[in-house]
Structure 1
């Protein structure tokens, strides 16, 4: 079978390929090859700029040519790299060879004469441990963060619109002190915003130091040159990453683990959101917009299932499972390195992909929500017992003896607590008429504390 959306093993490249197309620019095999070429090219340009003999700064035309190798990188170029790799059985060496091929065909004599400075003094991990964080950084900044911020913006809008809709809260699944619908939505927006702000500030660490992290080859060739300064300038200035030093042959991955852990926390918050909205839909607090022709069940025509939030929950879970493994495994490597990180890192795109897919589902689901204020009000009106906290607190303020116990006996397990039964209870209290009036003025709709003051 030929590979297409129907024959792909992974649903990310199959069923959901169209929804994840923007991520292919950052996390595909094609993207990894292009980022590796970008690292090699930018390293070569900076190397020439060092002016160590026989090198000298490149002309504008030579720089433009080299940068075209990744700026104009095509699928045909990627296929050529894979063809070379079938011979070398080494993916980064294939990158070096295609760059040399392109230089030989360029007509730039200086580059042709000095092409052995491609990959000069480097090991493959100097390329992988810069290409991977760079593709992650740009993928997160250009695709992931805008989408999650779109979710936050939608939640902010809902929080403002629904701020004054009083709603029965539930703790342990049981009726509890009232809140407002908007405030509860604002909780999720605030939680997400905090994690997104942290994610946006986290540095993307990169290793650049030769075969065992000491720049041995650089210093043996040019002992007096400041290669440590060069490495820091290249990684942090040219690439915009944060250089990790000292290292073994590979980056520690401790910094990437921090990023993965932050992504996991965002997934957890979104799962919590999906589950709460799912319950609100089941309670009819929300209804969902319907689309002509869609069905909710193959057997039950009436159903409008909350599938977007179920899909969001499921794909967040898949993403988290991958991120958990990545953050736990990658920082562990035998001695100066083993190769387990190489195959594992190829799944970073899948981890981000499932999260991105989940976020798309959640956005779609949020766009369908319609508030059913009648159902919310009906549920609140049916639970006057939640005022027990308010009444006993006022009585405590007045020095009344054992108010908690009295309200407990009145309300706990009593399904018939109503406005009338509470009023009768208040009438029998030995308190002033002013306090009785204060207590009788209470209602579940007004007992929302500071929820409307966001």
Structure 2
């Protein structure tokens, strides 16, 4: 077989869908969870470590940095862009070590500091402060924590909150709209559409609270977590206090007890929580798909704006919900794999986590894509009150539940003739269609107390929704609650 090699086409063709077909939805994560973003964070951590050590006089003889010095150092990560990415890649091609390449990248900048700043500076003498007392994992664990925290707080959590709030709004708007339930796929006790949306909103909100409470841990304590080289080289410095101050200054939670690596337990917790959120949202997608197939929701054709079938022009397929399903599944599979594998490291260190963590952006990216599709799908449908009312009006048998329970309560209160309520309703309703007149005739023949009889005669499938509207009103919180 002969064909043009697409691997040689420029610009390069994406292998994965997040960088190809779906780039528009996932590109925002590039600023946090791409290789380039990780390298920028490494530069940030290395630079801030130098600044912190100087500011806190942790190293005898270290210079006092001027404002210009600090600004120049921070410009190394603040202006990190295409040229710097290319330069760093070229250095790494020689070092064959990503963090060592960052070290050499910074030293180049220190060498050219006077020329760039236009005046003498002590920065040219700081070569040996770059990466001092650090193992690669000191830099990596902090860099990953910084970028993951940024991605979650800036991108993923706002998207997840927007989805949850969308369901909260849908629940409130339809709290009183009656809908037939289908437990086990069978006709069951009525509810309201709003209450069912509220259940999903509350479930998502619970997961969001867990995710927003994530502790992003970090450590900077040397090759095996003992501050060994620190204590030998500069015994007069309180290194645990310095370490804690630096980690917390990055907006992270300090972990004082580690091996060479920060153990990644917080990452496992986070990915498990995101996967759980995904699973709930997946359930939302499948339920909407089913409700659309039952015509409980109409697809808004103007909002959908898409071709359905390539051969059947009448169709508008619920593709947003199907896309969401698939991407939630992919995301959950990746994140659950990360959660289960990152917690294991052979003795003080092995390198399996290095490759594994490079897929964090893929796992979160598929979740973000799924959330985007689910939100667009929900925006593109409207409840169909006519169809909902039709199903309710054809399901008078569902009143068998409240009637038998009312009979039980009446018997306990002293009424006679209320024996065997379940069996009597079963005989009336099971396996046959029951009309409104059938049900009312049955009620009137029971000999119920007059007040109860009147209440049951007035009951319809559409009014038998219990406290559903009240539950939405009283117990459903907004996403910021």
* Cα distance change of structure 1 residues 367 and 3 upon mapping to structure 2, 3 Å threshold: farther
Q: Counterpart of 1:438? A: 455
**2:159/2:371 contact within 8 Å kept:** yes
Q: Counterpart of 1:319? A: 331
Q: Counterpart of 1:61? A: 68
TM-score (norm 1): 0.97
1:194 Cα deviation after fit? 1.6
Q: Counterpart of 1:387? A: 399
Give matches, 1:364-443, under 5 Å. Answer: 364-399=376-411, 400-414=418-432, 416-443=433-460
The question of 1:258 aligning with 2:269 is answered: yes
**1:195/1:266 contact within 8 Å kept:** yes
**1:322/1:351 contact within 8 Å kept:** yes
1:294 Cα deviation after fit? 2.8
Give matches, 1:245-394, under 5 Å. Answer: 245-291=256-302, 294-394=306-406
**1:20/1:357 contact within 8 Å kept:** yes
1:174-230: CA deviations, max 9, x gaps? Answer: 111111011111111111112112211111011221100111111111012101110
Q: Distance in 2 between matches of 1:205 and 1:257?
A: 12
1:251 Cα deviation after fit? 0.9
**1:85/1:94 contact within 8 Å kept:** yes
Runs (5+) with no aligned partner, structure 1: none
Q: Distance in 2 between matches of 1:379 and 1:105?
A: 77
**1:5/1:17 contact within 8 Å kept:** no
**1:6/1:15 contact within 8 Å kept:** no
The question of 1:231 aligning with 2:254 is answered: no
Q: Counterpart of 1:102? A: 109
Q: Distance in 2 between matches of 1:293 and 1:193?
A: 30
1:264 Cα deviation after fit? 1.0
Q: Counterpart of 1:87? A: 94
**1:30/1:75 contact within 8 Å kept:** no
Task: Answer with 260-269 or 431-440: which moved more.
Answer: 431-440
1:14 Cα deviation after fit? 1.1
Q: Report the RMSD for the aligned CA atoms in angstroms.
A: 1.4
**1:206/1:241 contact within 8 Å kept:** yes
Q: Distance in 2 between matches of 1:299 and 1:374?
A: 30
Q: Distance in 1 between matches of 2:368 and 2:334?
A: 14
* Cα distance change of structure 1 residues 6 and 277 upon mapping to structure 2, 3 Å threshold: farther
- Classify the secondary structure of the residue corresponding to 2:301: coil
Choose from 49, 54, 58 the match for 1:48: 54
Runs (5+) with no aligned partner, structure 2: 1-6, 115-119, 412-417, 474-481
Q: Distance in 1 between matches of 2:23 and 2:280?
A: 25
- Classify the secondary structure of the residue corresponding to 2:315: coil
The question of 1:13 aligning with 2:19 is answered: yes
1:87-139: CA deviations, max 9, x gaps? Answer: 11100000000000011011153111122110001000001100001100011
